[in-house]
Amino acid sequence: MLLAIDIGNSNVVLGVFDGERLRESWRIGTKASITSDEYAMIIKDLFGFAGIEFKQIDGVIVSSVVPPLLPIMSEMSQKYFKLEPLVVTSEIRTGITFKYDNPREIGADRIVNAAAAYKLFGGPLIIVDFGTATTFCAVTKSGEYLGGAITPGVKISAEALYQRAAKLPRVELVRPRTIIGRDTISAMQAGILYGYAGLVDGIVERMKQELGADAKVVATGGLAELVAPETKTIAEVRPDLTLQGLRLLYEGNN
């Protein structure tokens, strides 16, 4: 079995693959202050609920956009699974080529998503990842990673509105009944959701002008299933794209 670990700014997403099948997945809060032993205990508890034992894991792959956590997870893998993890960088075999000024600057999550989506759908391709930041990645028909755009994530935008406007409350991110809010909460929900959908469509349409009008748009990330239905441009939602990408990268490098 393969343990795939995606370390994001807000969450660590874990997945266990039995061959190509994603047997279990979990999402836990990102905490840079805890130790490799503490992460191992959390994983042990999660494994216990799923009936999985440490000794069943014969491969580990890690992608991370939180530098302090990478050595912690590597130590955890070595100590508890007796395995050297494969760490995602632009230098491993990905199936795509990088036309980025400095490929080492590309976030590991963007590499994984681009490699996975290109493997699944081919190109040209735009991948939208709704994470702490929302990232847009462009891949050509021939598998060249060109770059993209990065915007504040939906939750960051909503939290900034709450923190900087004294009379506005913190709201749940859900679809309101109408675009015209009849109270403060529904007005905020409408502005956040539909405003963000418009932002996505605007960036995607501009990227298509450079990449090609036939570019397929694939969305992933925690809020993809909320925002994507309100857009005109997103054609496919794959919530587990990053985990599936980690599996594909592991297989391609072993």
DSSP the chain: -EEEEEE-SSEEEEEEEETTEEEEEEEEE--TTS-HHHHHHHHHHHHHHHT--GGG--EEEEEES-TTHHHHHHHHIIIII--PPEEP-TTS--SSEE-SS-GGGS-HHHHHHHHHHHHHH-SSEEEEEESSEEEEEEE-TT-EEEEEEEEE-HHHHHHHHHHH-TTPPP------S-SS-SSHHHHHHHHHHHHHHHHHHHHHHHHHHHH-TT-EEEEEETTHHHHGGG-SS--EE-TTHHHHHHHHHHHHT-
Task: Report which of 114, 112, 155, 115 is spatially closest to residue 132, judged by C-alpha positions.
Answer: 155
Widest pairwise Cα distance in the chain: 58
109 counts as catalytic: yes
Q: How many CB atoms lie within 10 A of CB 45?
A: 10
Distance, CA of 117 to CA of 135 (rounded, Å): 14
Set 18, 58, 109, 129: catalytic member: 109
Show which residues are catalytic: 109
